Structure 1
Amino acid sequence: MYIKSEQIFDNIYAIKEDIDSWIVYAPLSGIILSCDTQDLVLLKRSLAEQVTNTDADTIAIELKNNEIQIPKNNLAPSQFTKLSILSNYKCNLACSYCYSAKGRSNKEISPVHLRAAINFFLGNASSGDKRSLFFSGGGEPLLSWNLLHPVLEEAIDKARRNHIDLQIHFMTNGTIFSEEIASFFKTHGISLCFSYEILESIQNQLRGKSKLVSENLSRYLNNGNIIYISSTITPQSVSYMKEMIEAVAQYFPGVNTVTMEPVTGAELYGTPEKLSQFYDEFDLNFKEAYTIAKSHGIQLNTSIQNITEHFVNRYCPGKFCLTPNGTFTICHCASSPQEERYEKCTYGYIDNDSNINFDIKKLNFLLSVNSDSYPECRDCFAKVHCGGECMTRRDTYPPEFMVEVCNHIRKNVLTEIIKQLHDEQ
């Protein structure tokens, strides 16, 4: 579905709904209205400050009244409230869609680098502040548990002494369980998110070790740990989203939050047309799975969900992400020197004396890349919600694929706009 639209004033858009029917959308003013072509012509004149002596003059003033301010991005490392940590380049699975497979090695993060980063991070927090540590891949973080454990204890103690509200989260492939880890996580309220495809046939096809992961998930749940599930939806699994939710409800009671995200990678789809078809299938199946999840008391999430509730000029705020090499990267998907995007995305490093060095000019440049940086975003009515889309997808997909990514976002934004318009009427 091609969506015809135009920007008729700064952050005010006209979206064609039918032959003689338009939706006027002013997201920063919180206004959605419908009109015919004749009324749209009058409104354009009023927005250009040409008096029409019609209701369009009053409406134009209201449309220009931008009540919503788009948040600014962080400009200094000391302002980040989340530190992402890639513990190693090791992994005991071989996922078919892995974004970091090129960087595989036995290298682990240095305890010197880890302590320095956490001390810097917590050192910039004041009493009462909220901060979070997020351990993910790269590789499988729990393969480095013996290294991480003592540093985590120190971080928790430091946060407690300084009255910092520190939340800790781990992303895992689910292949590792120990009583020590489970007990430590429960004691300190550390959540564990299983990157898991839920159904045995899909898990084994795309990731492997389904039985082990299923058993470990149940072990952590039985121990009273906080468990979430994150599933990467691929062309092989997109038609099974409803069954995946039913399986969670049946086999893993206690998991009340599941996230499903479309996989990224042009080679996984082959053609832009197949990517477009996949997105349509994802949206349809997600809606049906969402209804089933709600009936079981499960919150099903995806990043594009309720997209019009968010206002950004950049897709993500940028990451304060420490790699196993002791470098800082803007994106956790660019974690190893073996990956093409690594040099582009790194903006700092820690030396062996625990000195932290940042290239602030490079960081500011990376954070300045937003919806204003892409010509195709200029007249797009979705740009204040998607912020120019994800840097990883833009670097990964050829232009003809990005067209379909953007069209998918516009379709979802338009669906929500129409729903809001009808609710108001």
Structure 2
Amino acid sequence: MDVDSSSGGAPRVDLPWPAMPPPKRAAEASQGVVGGVARAAGDSVVNTEVSIFDASDGGAVVHLPLKGRAFRVDERTRRIIEKIVAGQELPEDDVSARVLAVLDKMGIIGGEMEPEPTTRPLQEFRPIEATLILTESCNLGCTYCYASSLPQKSPPMSEEIARAAVDLVLQNASKTDENLALIRYIGGGEPTMEWKLLQSVTDYIRSASQATGVRYRIRLITNGTLLTPDRVAWIRDNIQFVTLSFDILPELQAQRSYADGRSSHSKLVKVIRELVEQGVDFHLRTTVSAQGAARLVDMVKFVHDNTGAASVRFEPMAEIGRSVTQGMAKPLQQEFVESFKEAYRLGRELGIDVTCKMFQNTLRRSSRFCNAEFSVTPEGIVSGCHRYSKDEHDGYDLFRIGRYDGSRFQFDIDRVNALRAIDVHSFPECTSCMARWNCAGGCLSARVSRQGISQSGPLCDLTRELLKFSIEQRVGDPLG
């Protein structure tokens, strides 16, 4: 919304974010400004964190991360709000009084302080989402594979372990208001290599759901190369959402060739058209390395002209697994940001939803990027992150939080809480960052290496810039 100091009245709220619960009173307000994140003390106390950044079209945007709100201001209003935030005296004039009145009506000054998010220790680990790594085998040889998967056959997950995981999340979900269990099929390897197991587990999910009265939602993450029209039809009838990994341009999809070096590009184009034709709910998930960072617009054009897909998710490559041994590099942060902005705008023109995790950070207000996953390996080991499913992965011990003992899943609650305790409060650089409650420290896996946990996030500049961009889109595109 626009707050213009030349006009009176309450501002119009344009930001359709989820409503926040009423704030609780803190012991006292803090004072001062740190890196653009501020609070104030005084008669007109700002009751929540405030960050102000330059808008791309001039003026400024005021962001209230813990309230999930943002609004535009002109330069004069910005200066007044900055004084209020800093606890400075305001001139006794009509403009200052009007701004104070508007902020008061919005619930930004006075009243109780907004509490900061915290990560509290768990007494029990009760997941309602299971990530099932059906196999560690893969038919592709992706140059940046985080799991360093290989084509040789490895033992798949047993039906016993898969069913036990399903039973657990259904049981836990039955005790929640949502009454909804979530299941993801993912690799490790390529889950559709174990097609019969995938079908059997899905049948069990359906029958167990009916028996318990718990709703479920299944998501399949796949490279798509093993899908046929018959398999797509089955997916349409049994899987609620598909993430299809595809690097879109032929020369970039070469990073995702078959294990024997053959191109997988033409196969994926056919599969995507089949998914569209049969009405499967899906999006394309593209891993962006340094090689592709400047070509996101070309990718959106290709998707529009050749596939019929309606949603593309671009994610910067993580320097983990095979990408390290292959010497591949993550994209330059500012290059990715500018390329993403252009691709997003083009997507709006063409009717294609263009997004990425950092662009969706406006929907998160938390002290931690994610909770510990209930990610189950084929052997029944539970990892707090699906990227760390094998003992040769750097960080495997950090994320290993439990196992299937032959009759049920056993969790090490101390390990779970130790993992969860690594949050935004663990990294001093987050203290002054305007994105800290939206980014929540970022994906922990991106900070882990054989040297330990990095205090510096690998994509902080990218994250801040895309948060600003996404906020501007939600308050109205200044570029028209």
Distance 1:315 1:186, change over 3 A: same
Aligned length: 410
Q: Which runs of 5+ in 1 are unaligned?
A: none
Q: Distance in 1 between the 2:272 and 2:476 partners?
A: 43
Q: Find the counterpart in structure 2 of residue 27 from structure 1.
A: 65
Q: Any idea what the Cα deviations from partners look like across 1:74-104, whole Å, max 9, x if unmatched?
A: 9366643321111111011111111110687
1:16-415 correspondence runs (5 A): 26-28=64-66, 30=69, 43-45=85-87, 62=109, 65-66=112-113, 70=117, 75=122, 79-101=126-148, 106-126=154-174, 129-178=179-228, 180-207=230-257, 208-253=263-308, 255-265=309-319, 278-351=332-405, 353-396=406-449, 402=456, 405-415=459-469
Displacement of 1:400 after TM fit? 8.8
Structure 1's 143 and 363: CA in aligned 2 closer, same or farther, altered over 3 A?
Answer: same
Contact 1:14–1:22 (CA under 8 A) maintained in structure 2: no
Kept in 2: contact 1:45–1:52 (CA 8 A): no
- How far the C-alpha of 1:349 sits from its partner, in A, is 0.3
Q: Is the 8 A contact 1:186 1:224 kept in 2?
A: yes
Q: CA deviation at 1:164?
A: 2.1
Q: How many angstroms does 1:322 deviate by?
A: 1.0
Secondary structure of 2:358's counterpart equals coil
Offset at residue 24 of structure 1 (A) = 7.0
Query: How far has the Cα of 1:4 moved from its partner?
Result: 5.0
**What's the CA shift for 1:168?**
0.9
1:71–1:311 CA contact under 8 A, matched in 2: no
Instruction: Please give the alpha-carbon distance, in whole angstroms, between the structure 2 residues aligned to 1:87 and 1:311.
Output: 32
Instruction: Measure, in 1, the Cα distance between the counterparts of 2:141 and 2:299.
Output: 21
| Counterpart amino acid of residue 288 in structure 2 | I
Q: Deviations over 1:336-365 (max 9, x none)?
A: 1111111110101002x2221100121122
**In 2, Cα distance between the equivalents of 1:215 and 1:383?**
41
Superposed CA RMSD in Å reads: 3.9
2:347 is paired with a residue whose SS is helix
AA in 1 matched with 2:396: Y
- Give unpaired runs (5+ residues) of structure 2: 1-33, 41-46, 258-262
Q: Give the CA deviation at 1:170.
A: 0.7
Return the offset for 1:43: 4.9
Q: Where in structure 2 are the equivalents of 1:7-18 lying within 5 Å?
A: 7-8=38-39, 12=49
User: What SS does structure 2 have at the residue aligned with 1:101?
Assistant: coil
Identity of aligned residues (%): 22
Q: Contact (CA 8 Å) 2:61, 2:70: kept in 1 or not?
A: no
* 1:62 match: secondary structure: coil
Give the CA deviation at 1:146.
Answer: 1.8
Kept after mapping to 2: 8 A contact 1:28/1:67? yes
Q: 1:291 to 1:119 in 2, by over 3 A?
A: same
Contact 1:77/1:320 (<8 A) preserved: no
Alpha-carbon displacement from aligned partner over 1:112-157 (angstroms, at most 9, x marks no partner): 2111111111122229612221111110000011222222211111
Distance 1:28 1:423, change over 3 A: farther
> Is the Cα–Cα contact under 8 Å of residues 401 and 416 in structure 2 kept in the other structure?
yes
Tell me the TM-score normalized by structure 2.
0.73
Q: Distance in 2 between matches of 1:16 and 1:339?
A: 40
Deviation string, structure 1 residues 60-82 (Cα, Å, up to 9, x no partner) = 98177445874867936664332
Residues 185 and 69 of structure 1, relative CA distance in 2, 3 Å threshold:
farther
1:238, distance to aligned residue in structure 2 (A): 1.8
Query: TM (normalized to structure 1)?
Result: 0.82
> Which secondary structure does the structure 1 equivalent of 2:402 belong to?
strand
Code of the residue aligned with 1:62 in structure 2: it is I
- Cα distance change of structure 1 residues 421 and 287 upon mapping to structure 2, 3 Å threshold: closer
